[in-house]
Amino acid sequence: MKILAPSWLGAHHSALVHRKLPLVLILAAWLLATGSQWDLLQTFAWARMLTENVQSLPMEAALARTFSPEGRCEMCNGITTAKQQQDEADSALGGKAGGKTLLVYMPTPVVVIQAPNVSRFIPSETLITGLGRSAPPLPPPRV
């Protein structure tokens, strides 16, 4: 797949686009597949609520009101509804049924195999290997 950058960006920026764009697209797909878009929107909503509350309240009271259930804004309620709808749709399709599924760790049973108690050389084997051979010379040959 060839991704073309506008010619006014130059060759250096074109190489950056070729390197960075696939990473950005994979990251965006991963965030959407895991439902993290709702977490990002919730963070944005909290920041917006905090800036609005700080204008009329002291910082401690603004923080308390921002994160209290009574101080929820329309955006927070919409995000909660959307999360619940996505979870219901996932469980109806056989996706996440009751939370996150741990796929990485699967315990395996411990298997111990012991070697049989058998001697390595059978006495008849030494007789067979010695057949047809002459005994080595007693003094080593001199060269």
Per-residue model confidence (pLDDT) at position 111: 84
Residue type, 5: A
Q: Which helix (H) or strand (E) holds 2?
A: none
- Give Rg (Cα) of the chain: 36
Per-residue model confidence (pLDDT) at position 91: 73
Per-residue model confidence (pLDDT) at position 26: 92
Nearest CA among 41, 101, 106, 116 for reference residue 76: 41
> Which residue has tokens 């003094």?
139
Low-confidence winner among 68-72, 94-98, 106-110 (lowest mean pLDDT): 94-98
With a CB cutoff of 8 Å and minimum separation 6, the contacts of 67 are 46
* Of 102 and 85, more confident: 85
* Of 36 and 6, more confident: 36
DSSP 110: -
Whole-model pTM above 0.75?
no
| Mean pLDDT within 81-108 | 71
Low-confidence winner among 48-57, 82-91, 122-131 (lowest mean pLDDT): 122-131
Say if residue 119's pLDDT is above 90: no
